[in-house]
Structure 1
Amino acid sequence: MATKRIKRERTPAFSSHLLLLFHSSLPPSLPRSSSFPSFSRINSSSSGRPVHPPEPETMASEKHFKYLVLGGGVAAGYAAREFAKHGLQPGELAIISKESVAPYERPALSKGYLAPQNAARLPGFHTCVGSGGEKLLPEWYADKGIELILSTEIVKADLATKTLTSADGATFICEILLIATGSSTIKLTDFGVQGAESNNILYLRDIEDADKLVAAMQAKKDGKAVVVGGGYIGLELGAALKTNNFDVTMVYPEPWCMPRLFTAGIAHFYEGYYASKGINIVKGTVASGFDADANGDVSKVNLKDGRVLDADIVIVGVGGRPLTGLFKGQVEEEKGGLKTDTFFETSVAGVYAIGDVATFPMKLYNEPRRVEHVDHARKSAEQAVKAIKAKETGETAAEYDYLPYFYSRSFEVAWQFYGDNVGETVLFGDNDPATEKAKFGTYWVKDGKVIGVFLEGGSAEENQAIAKVARAQPPAADLEALSKEGLDFASKI
């Protein structure tokens, strides 16, 4: 039924905590730290897959570049495109990546990559197709004279000299360094959770993780899956597993899903909608251990409240950490990230941080923020390169004026959010999960101004309208009137 009342619920502010919308929260006992995963150095074919290791004589080489991007995720691909737009000489730019493929649009891994039919595969979603741009195949980098140094572990970084050292002894020296190392997933094995090393307890961060999940889904076809975590990634993977005909149970400790963004009113719709799809939701408890069968495959999930769930696959999404461990003690840090200015330059001249690892001054709210989302990864990369190139010509780039933006889609529902989620909340529209093609939303109001908007089921025009509201921050003193106006309020901006 239509919701007429005003929901005035306090939700955690983006500004008061690290912005980690992709995962559910950790149990309080689990610590957080930074590390950089290891991987070997392999060359890549035109498909982006590894074909052969480098020759032994290259293993202790020294290479010099004008620009060097450390990390091969979304931010790296968009930085490369922006450098190319401004003009590059062959050999000026290199990208060092832990992965064995050229940069790709990471959101595809929890969406199209897991589709039961016509699944997305590389090279179909290399950057920059996610924003409607050109697909940058490995050949594109070669044509532009950009060196892709793939499957390479960097074990030491000297920011003062801008020197990186790999596990095989190779040295990379540059004039300008862009740190784009991203985040890693928190794994239960790090904390000694009983049975967490069992087979088919999986995580999702990169394409290797996605391939493991696909293989497990094929091996345990039509089986039982447990999703540990009720955050961004948990909701998307729960839907993907159900679409693949798994019996799915989601487990998370919070009173509702995605509590860092969702209010109780928003979560009411999605939890009810997921239940209508046959997904079982268990709230208020955590996985305390796992049992395995004789083959070492996970078979049961033991919950802290004493319940036991059968499981053929477990997918864990309980948080992430920015990969900043290589740079400890060498650069200023803030709010869990590397502190930057509006151009994403760190406290070390010529060293920039982009994407997940950057804590930057958010102009709209006049405070430092760290944002983990693909939209910011793309835009921060472009901003840093524009600033670098402007400085070379004695000019100054425009300040980074970012509007926080998050989105997700699963099953037949899709939502978008713009702005900040602090202040009082006003629910509008019909958030009944039984409603076909539901359309509802929430305004966040602080100091008499609308500063954030969430919308489910919006058209392209309506989503543009809520973005304008979040940017303009129009006054809204009468919350009852705002609830009644609903989307009409946004259309007037």
Structure 2
Amino acid sequence: MADALVIVGASYAGVQLAASARELGFDAPIVLLGDEVHAPYQRPPLSKGLLTGKTAVDQLALRGPGFFAEQKIELRLATRATALDLAARRVQLADGSHLDYGWLALTTGARCRPLRVPGAALQGVHELRTLDDALAVHGAVSGARAGTRACVVGGGFIGLEVAAALTAAGAQVTVLEGQTRLLARSFPPAMSDYVAQAHRQRGVALELGRGVEALLGNAAGHVESVLLDDGRTLPCDLVVLGIGVLPNVELAEAAGIACAGGILVDGCGRTSAPNVLAAGDVANMELPHLPGDLGRLRLESIQAANDGARAAASVLVGQPQPLTAVPWFWSEQHDLKLQMAGIPAHGDPTVLRGDMASDRFTLFYLRDGAVVAAHTVNRPAEHMLARKLIANAAQIPAEVLADPAADLKPFSIPQPRG
């Protein structure tokens, strides 16, 4: 199968790339390799509905049972690629066999950043990235007594989603965050303060600006407390780690493919190696279309993975179409639906539309007078509109943006240039 497309990583990006290749008319063999035993599945419910019991495992399938056969995509599960031979266009597998390729796509995703402190390997200490991880956390909570004490290390999106889900499941949750505010990399202080207050109001305890020195266990080897950097210990029955991820670039780096904070790709997912593409969480992609000339970013979101995979698939059929979609993300925490569009930069002026106390508002970000990003809470229609405003680089007076009664739809219509 020297003309085959081999995709390493049965992730959102990997599945979408295979599907888009077929949609665009790519008719050579496609082999999709996944190192898990599970067929490709949805990841957002892992930190949300699966933990609370609202989502069952059999509801997680990313595609229907007949999809891969119908599209003539060979799905190989529990199959790990160990090396790439770019000169021979060959993928070496863990079982000693190999696959030859005409095109190779790396959609290897990311893995949890480890917590390097004493006690991190104790029983009751969990990561949350895979289905097996989520099932282990769910089992620990559902099998415990009422009022289980849980410590979540990390106040990013995953950590806060887990905190909300564990609270809903009846646990007493404390979030430990090394920064002095939540979501410091993504949100300005006003949004960080809002999220912190929202969690406290819903029963989550927050320890901000606190580091973890060690996890302490009992005689049976199970975690029983967290030692903080101020000398205090917090008793706990369960610890969930959410301190970020690391892109899985090892295969690419070992083969000599250019990497820096991810596999370096252009707007179509092309790497530095001939006939090798990359997409998803592992890809550090050129994004010249974004306001402010951000250059490139590694975007950790389902939509970015799918959009990047579609762009990469266009290369396979000789009709390259760079990614142009406005990046957007979402997070569900308690009864709050947070939706984010665009990439704000530090210092961008903001305009608040609505009242934060109502849990229904939008915070717009401006740059040179244009809307470049928006964070909405429980306003999905306004989020959709904001994406159009960002794509149009809409110039809207601040007093109009701030007025909930003002109609912003006319500003979303592209204006003739020249």
In the superposition, the TM-score normalised over structure 2's length comes to 0.91
Deviation, structure 1 residue 121? 1.1
1:4-23 to 2 correspondence within 5 Å?
Answer: none
CA distance in 2, matches of 1:331, 1:482: 52
Deviation, structure 1 residue 492? 3.7
Give 1:468's aligned residue.
388
Deviation, structure 1 residue 409? 1.3
Among residues 322, 346, 368, which one is paired with 1:447 in the alignment?
368
Among residues 77, 80, 84, which one is paired with 1:157 in the alignment?
84
- Cα distance change of structure 1 residues 180 and 459 upon mapping to structure 2, 3 Å threshold: closer
1:293-372 to 2 correspondence within 5 Å?
Answer: 293-328=218-253, 330-333=255-258, 335-365=260-290, 366=293, 367-372=295-300
CA distance in 1, matches of 2:4, 2:92: 17
Aligned residues with identical type, % of pairs: 26
Q: Is the 8 A contact 1:250 1:280 kept in 2?
A: yes
Q: Is the 8 A contact 1:71 1:95 kept in 2?
A: yes
Q: Is the 8 A contact 1:72 1:97 kept in 2?
A: yes
CA distance in 1, matches of 2:176, 2:141: 19
- Cα distance change of structure 1 residues 487 and 279 upon mapping to structure 2, 3 Å threshold: farther
Between 1:238-247 and 1:342-351, the stretch displaced more is 342-351
Structure 2 residues not aligned, in runs of 5+: 412-418
Give 1:9's aligned residue.
none
Could you report, residue by residue, the CA deviation over 1:270-304 in whole angstroms, capped at 9, with x for unpaired residues?
21121111111110111110111122111001111
1:52-451 to 2 correspondence within 5 Å?
Answer: 66-87=4-25, 92-116=29-53, 118-122=54-58, 124-127=59-62, 135-137=63-65, 139-188=66-115, 191=116, 193-222=117-146, 223-328=148-253, 330-333=255-258, 335-365=260-290, 366=293, 367-389=295-317, 391=318, 396-422=319-345, 423-432=348-357, 435=358, 438-451=359-372
Deviation, structure 1 residue 269? 2.0
Structure 2: which amino acid aligns with 1:196? A
Deviation, structure 1 residue 155? 1.7
Deviation, structure 1 residue 88? 5.9
Q: Is the 8 A contact 1:335 1:370 kept in 2?
A: no
CA distance in 2, matches of 1:255, 1:459: 29
Structure 2: which amino acid aligns with 1:372? E
CA distance in 1, matches of 2:159, 2:85: 37
In the superposition, the TM-score normalised over structure 1's length comes to 0.78
CA distance in 2, matches of 1:260, 1:405: 16
CA distance in 2, matches of 1:297, 1:364: 50
Q: Is the 8 A contact 1:76 1:103 kept in 2?
A: no
| 3-state SS of paired residue (2:78) | coil
* Residue correspondences, number: 405
Q: Is the 8 A contact 1:177 1:352 kept in 2?
A: yes
CA distance in 1, matches of 2:249, 2:260: 12
CA distance in 1, matches of 2:145, 2:86: 48
Deviation, structure 1 residue 467? 1.0
CA distance in 1, matches of 2:343, 2:25: 36
CA distance in 2, matches of 1:158, 1:113: 39
| 3-state SS of paired residue (1:384) | helix
Q: Is the 8 A contact 1:253 1:285 kept in 2?
A: yes
Select the structure with the greater relative contact order (CA < 8 A; seq sep ≥ 6).
Answer: 1
CA distance in 1, matches of 2:112, 2:231: 26
Q: Is the 8 A contact 1:65 1:93 kept in 2?
A: no
- Cα distance change of structure 1 residues 486 and 472 upon mapping to structure 2, 3 Å threshold: farther
CA distance in 2, matches of 1:280, 1:254: 15
Give 2:415's aligned residue.
none
Could you report, residue by residue, the CA deviation over 1:313-359 in whole angstroms, capped at 9, with x for unpaired residues?
10001111110011216445354122222221111111000111222
- Cα distance change of structure 1 residues 323 and 489 upon mapping to structure 2, 3 Å threshold: farther
Could you report, residue by residue, the CA deviation over 1:165-204 in whole angstroms, capped at 9, with x for unpaired residues?
122211111110010000010112xx3x111110011011
Q: Is the 8 A contact 1:266 1:441 kept in 2?
A: no
CA distance in 1, matches of 2:94, 2:206: 44
Q: Is the 8 A contact 1:199 1:298 kept in 2?
A: yes
Structure 1 residues not aligned, in runs of 5+: 1-62, 128-134
The CA RMSD over aligned residues, in Å, is: 2.0
Structure 1: which amino acid aligns with 2:241? V
CA distance in 1, matches of 2:145, 2:3: 48
CA distance in 2, matches of 1:316, 1:308: 17
